[in-house]
Structure formats: C-alpha cells, structure tokens
C-alpha cells in the first residue's frame, strides 16, 4: 500500500525518538493490513497467486524489519532511562 511508504517517509522525518517510534508503529499496522488484503486476494483470485505470494513474502520481510526496529528502539530507550 502507498500508505506504508508514506508513513515510513514520515517516520524518517520524525522530530524525536518517540515520534519515530509512533510513526513506525503506524507503518507496522498499515503493512499488516496490506498483507491481510493480499491473503484475501490470493484466496479469491488464484490467477494472480504467484504475484501475490511474491508481494506477501516481501511484505513479511519488511514487517520483520519494522518490528525488529521497534523492539530495538524500545530497548535503547529503556537502557537510556535506566542509565540516568
């Protein structure tokens, strides 16, 4: 979805770590929603199955990267707060 790209771009322009984290969470939600619709398309339209599977695989890889980034940001924030 173009919303994923637009929200990721907004995350890259975040004004703070908290802002970045919130925008990445939106990216995660939008990407998950996109993958849901790809699953529906695959179920109801087998003629595009190969294309849908490629896009789903790429979406799943991107989702793993985004989730990993969110986890890392949260850990770094916890470490920063505990060292104060």
- CATH code given to domain 2-82: 1.20.1440.60
Q: Where are the domains of the chain?
A: 2-82
Per-residue pLDDT tens for 70-84? 999 999 999 999 987
Give the CA radius of gyration of the chain.
16
- Residue closest to 63 by CA, chosen among 39, 14, 30, 41: 30
pLDDT digits (tens, 9 = 90+) for 46-68: 788 889 999 999 999 999 999 99
Mean pLDDT of the residues in the chain? 93
């Amino acid at each position: 979805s173009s919303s994923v790209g637009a929200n990721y771009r907004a995350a890259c322009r975040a004004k703070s770590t908290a802002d970045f984290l919130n925008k990445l969470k939106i990216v995660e939600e939008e990407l998950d929603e996109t993958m849901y619709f790809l699953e529906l398309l695959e179920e109801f339209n087998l003629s595009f199955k190969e294309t849908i599977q490629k896009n789903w695989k790429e979406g799943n890889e991107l989702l793993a990267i985004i989730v990993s980034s969110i986890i890392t940001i949260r850990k770094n924030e916890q470490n920063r707060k505990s060292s104060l």
